[in-house]
Amino acid sequence: MIQAIGYAAKHSYSRLKSLRFEREEAGPHDIEIDVMFCGVCHSDIHQVKNEWSNTVYPCMPGHEVVGRVARTGAHVTRHAVGDIVGVGCMIDSCRRCDPCEAGEQNYCEGPNSWLATYNGPMVPAKLAADGGNMYGRDNTFGGYSNVLVVNEDFALKIPAGLRPEVAAPILCAGVTTYSPMKHWGVKAGDKVGVIGFGGLGDMAAKIARAMGAEVTVFTTSQDKLDEAARLGVRGVLESDKDALKKLKLSFDFIISTIPEKHDINPYIQLLKRDRTLVIVGALEPMAGVNNQETAFHRKAVAGSLIGSLVDTQEVLDFCAQHEIGPDIQMIPIQEINEAYSHVEHGDVRFRYVIDMASLKHEMEA
């Protein structure tokens, strides 16, 4: 076993604290990664606080992981020692179901669905149709740690043009916004609306703009209108009814990135006929959709969850090619609890990224 260290919460009420634990050594198809950076995703906070009622404790989050390959199993062919690699939300899937065969592991229909980088399989044994656990693990520990061991297929290549710390948030925030834009065919000249201008909204706006779309972000604060202008996209206040009225039937695609329940009906009005509004930020029951809004111009409201391995590699390469990435703020892991409160209350647009070098002295202590 590998002696490891990370930050975890032992209960929904408790803060994250240093935790020593053991990881399995790399098997023949696995790689061992020395974690360099890990992004802080809003999901980490939901999970730590058991806001989806499925948290297994201790909970060690982190699914925007970038590091250097330290060891490779005997049969590994995709990665070599010294490579800079990334690990997103998944570390395995059933590999046999229709979505897996189609390369859409993030929609795995296997008995336990995909194996999340932290908090174990998406469908735990208790909820699985066969009552089993094909992964043999009911809790996984994520990237808020010094070392990670994953199957080589679930590690992505970080392109040379992308700084590793900037690449980290692309592994979740980037692909979560890129994947639906690809699926619904966003293209140059399209009008794209982005609801919410936090970490996900920032990535959505940058990616859509790099695709050649004309981007409008909808936000609640004047400050963020200025930030939108700096990014070269249009900003509209959600409370500006006149502005919204003028935008009726004008968007080709709208993506909602707000991480909790909100009313999307005012935005459905803004879609053109036959177009789609996709919700990626909130994973909970939403306020009702007024079918008058969808029926009249045959519009759709959809959801989308993270992205496949192929989409994740694509968005990393896309960001490197277009020289875009999230705005980040680096923190030592010892400041993680303060960072969480800022994300929860401050609605920060940049992404916190943990510099895992800050764990070193705790390892040696």
Which residues lie near Zn ion (CB under 5 A)?
41, 43, 93-94, 97, 100, 108, 110, 172
Q: Are the C-beta atoms of residues 60 and 359 closer than 8 Å to each other? A: no
- Reading the block at residue 352, the tokens are 């916190």
User: Strand pairing partners for 194?
Assistant: 217, 255
Write down the least CB distance from residue 113 to Zn ion, Å.
7
Pairing of strands 17-23, 2-8: antiparallel
Count other Cβ atoms within 10 Å, centred on residue 107: 17
Write down the least CB distance from residue 61 to Zn ion, Å.
9
Write down the least CB distance from residue 128 to Zn ion, Å.
13
The nearer residue to Zn ion, 286 or 305, going by C-beta atoms, is: 305
Write down the least CB distance from residue 123 to Zn ion, Å.
11
Residue nearest to Zn ion (CB): 41
The nearer residue to Zn ion, 43 or 55, going by C-beta atoms, is: 43
Work out the angle between the directed axes of helices 309-322 and 199-210 (0-180°, nearest 10): 70
The nearer residue to Zn ion, 9 or 41, going by C-beta atoms, is: 41
The nearer residue to Zn ion, 225 or 280, going by C-beta atoms, is: 280
CB-neighbour burial class of residue 30 (10 A; exposed 0-12, middle 13-18, buried 19+): buried
The nearer residue to Zn ion, 67 or 111, going by C-beta atoms, is: 111
Write down the least CB distance from residue 277 to Zn ion, Å.
21
Using the structure block, give the residue that is written with the tokens 């999970």. 47
The nearer residue to Zn ion, 108 or 186, going by C-beta atoms, is: 108
Q: Are the C-beta atoms of residues 331 and 179 closer than 8 Å to each other? A: no
Write down the least CB distance from residue 222 to Zn ion, Å.
28
DSSP structure string for 256-283: E--SS----HHHHTTEEEEEEEEE-S--
